[in-house]
Chains A and B, each alone.
Chain A
């Protein structure tokens, strides 16, 4: 293969990668708790990490428990990276070791945003997370959205510095749309 052909192949590969990137977008992850929970309206990142690693079970004297989304889902992978600071493989090893030490147990999993809402409403102090786009079609009665407490104030999902986000697949294009 000649030099020009090699360059051509490389450019095609780059174009393919670019096209793939176009089908994904970064989407904020929203934290929710039950409206009845008397804890604060925002939580700091270290506390969130400890709660999801089962190292902390109380916030401000209030019992708190975590819910995860389904293992392998894009939102969970994004949450693990941006909130907990680790890959899912790393966290899997962590939980295996904790089980043997009699330490923490991994958060329960829920398969859908609907299921998450049911569990959050049922137990004040349960914390879960959703994609911002998932909020639109849901009845949010009985839950409230948590901000992220930082040294400079509270960050909300719409803020550009808001760190919790995941790589979401783009929604499918409607049929018959112009190419």
Chain B
């Protein structure tokens, strides 16, 4: 049973949801024909404006006050400012024991990107996030500083980022925003927070354009980072030093990558964890895309409870973009899930239909079947609808 404060928060979410729907409707009814762009260096920060009130207008006003008129000069050529945000809401239902139907505002996000010149960047991102109750878990809401960093871009092959940034680990973790991904629910390794979403520290990364290789245009991306894992919902004891690396090879539209990560986990008696992810993506004929990630975590046995194993998790997905604005996605997930204590084997079959009526609106409908091999959890079904809008 929920206590009073939880009911109050839930009511708060239910009041926010209609407001979100109104914003979404406004975005959907915005005219396809954009108004004339301003003809000065401040204007073209966005790709295609619409009549929806836009944070970019504020960015342009600030830019214009700094740059003056339209004559190109050294400063106005270099200075850029982009302000944006997004929000999404969802309806979720499940037949799991202890599960509940919900209509919630899941995220509200604001980000500011300032390019002081072509080498220096300042980036801020803040987010309200609602983490729905896991089966037997608790419902959580919070405002969070997602990212705040400064970046220096010496050349394409050498960039340095300092501050709080998304953890470069595999494909999903650095691109984890609900509005950007194919599905409503994340894959097992992400929902189980095997890897912290953010790091506070230093990152060195870059791209090397290696020309043609095996008849395909190739590009190598590398990343090295060190610092401390940022606290998320499960904030408890502070984590120790973390180190990570990522290497990915792009061959035309195909991708192959490997990431390594290690940290001391403060919530688990400061045990040392070693993580690996191998990931890849292949563009297939008929607008099909295959992607897979395999995650392995090795835990320090001296501090590991006997009933918790070293988890392996894998997902494989096939996405079919049968129209430019619509896709169908199937994802198979399999792994050892220890979110609720003892490690159990968890299998998920997930089907998602995605629709983008305009570029700034993302709609998703999803069904998933969750299967457990043993343990205290029963198999269950999950349904969800989600709507997200960029503003």
Tell me which residues from 120 to 158 in chain A have a Cβ below 8 Å from any Cβ of chain B. Answer: 122-123, 126
Which of A57, A71, A111 contacts B34 (CB under 8 A)? A71
Is A38 an interface position by the 8 A CB rule? no
Is B369 an interface position by the 8 A CB rule? no
A109-B43 contact given A92-B48, A97-B180, A102-B113, CB 8 Å threshold = yes
- A106/B44 in contact, CB under 8 A: yes
Complex Cα distance, B49 from A70, in Å, reads: 11
Q: Hey, what's the 0/1 contact readout for B39-70 against A, CB within 8 Å counting as 1?
A: 10101111110000000000000000000000
Is B343 an interface position by the 8 A CB rule? no
A122-B72 contact given A96-B390, A106-B47, CB 8 Å threshold = yes
- A123/B77 in contact, CB under 8 A: yes
- A122/B73 in contact, CB under 8 A: yes
Residues of chain A with a CB closer than 8 A to B71's CB: 118
Residue of A nearest to B177 (CB): A100
- B360/A106 in contact, CB under 8 A: no
Residues of chain B with a CB closer than 8 A to A68's CB: 44
Residues of chain A with a CB closer than 8 A to B41's CB: 108, 119
Which of A55, A96, A101 contacts B360 (CB under 8 A)? A96
Is A176 an interface position by the 8 A CB rule? no
Is B173 an interface position by the 8 A CB rule? no
- B180/A100 in contact, CB under 8 A: yes
Residues of chain A with a CB closer than 8 A to B151's CB: 102
Complex Cα distance, B82 from A160, in Å, reads: 41
Is A65 an interface position by the 8 A CB rule? yes
Is B3 an interface position by the 8 A CB rule? no
Chain B: interface residue count, which band? 35 or more
- B217/A46 in contact, CB under 8 A: yes
Q: Hey, what's the 0/1 contact readout for B160-190 against A, CB within 8 Å counting as 1?
A: 0000011000000011010110000000000
Minimum CB–CB distance from A115 to chain B (whole Å) comes to 7
Q: Hey, what's the 0/1 contact readout for B206-236 against A, CB within 8 Å counting as 1?
A: 0101000000010000000000000000000
Is B156 an interface position by the 8 A CB rule? yes
Tell me which residues from 83 to 115 in chain A have a Cβ below 8 Å from any Cβ of chain B. Answer: 87-93, 95-97, 99-102, 105-112, 115
- A111/B37 in contact, CB under 8 A: yes
A111-B39 contact given A99-B82, A100-B180, A105-B113, CB 8 Å threshold = yes
A71-B77 contact given A57-B156, A100-B180, CB 8 Å threshold = no
Complex Cα distance, B248 from A137, in Å, reads: 47
- A105/B77 in contact, CB under 8 A: no
Complex Cα distance, B309 from A51, in Å, reads: 47
Residues of chain B with a CB closer than 8 A to A102's CB: 111, 113, 121, 123, 125, 147, 149, 151, 165
- B207/A109 in contact, CB under 8 A: no
Complex Cα distance, B37 from A68, in Å, reads: 13
Residues of chain B with a CB closer than 8 A to A115's CB: 39
Minimum CB–CB distance from A59 to chain B (whole Å) comes to 10
Is A56 an interface position by the 8 A CB rule? yes
- B37/A96 in contact, CB under 8 A: no
- A95/B47 in contact, CB under 8 A: yes
Is A25 an interface position by the 8 A CB rule? no
Which of A72, A107, A109, A118 contacts B72 (CB under 8 A)? A118
Which of B165, B177, B324 contacts A87 (CB under 8 A)? B324
A92-B47 contact given A58-B156, A65-B118, A105-B80, CB 8 Å threshold = yes
Complex Cα distance, B147 from A123, in Å, reads: 32
Is A82 an interface position by the 8 A CB rule? no
Tell me which residues from 359 to 386 in chain B have a Cβ below 8 Å from any Cβ of chain A. Answer: 359-360
- A105/B37 in contact, CB under 8 A: no
Residues of chain A with a CB closer than 8 A to B37's CB: 70-71, 109, 111
Q: Hey, what's the 0/1 contact readout for A30-66 against B, CB within 8 Å counting as 1?
A: 0000000000000000110010000111100001010
Is B254 an interface position by the 8 A CB rule? no
Residues of chain B with a CB closer than 8 A to A99's CB: 82, 84, 111, 113
Minimum CB–CB distance from B110 to chain A (whole Å) comes to 11
Is B86 an interface position by the 8 A CB rule? yes
Complex Cα distance, B147 from A102, in Å, reads: 9
Tell me which residues from 1 to 54 in chain B have a Cβ below 8 Å from any Cβ of chain A. Answer: 34, 37, 39, 41, 43-48
Complex Cα distance, B209 from A47, in Å, reads: 9
Residue of B nearest to A102 (CB): B123
A105-B47 contact given A56-B156, A93-B356, CB 8 Å threshold = no
- The 6 closest A-B CB pairs, nearest first, are A109-B44, A122-B72, A92-B47, A92-B359, A102-B123, A95-B47
Q: Known A-B contacts: A96-B47, A107-B44, A111-B37. Give 6 more (CB < 8 A).
A: A91-B47, A95-B47, A102-B121, A106-B44, A109-B44, A118-B71
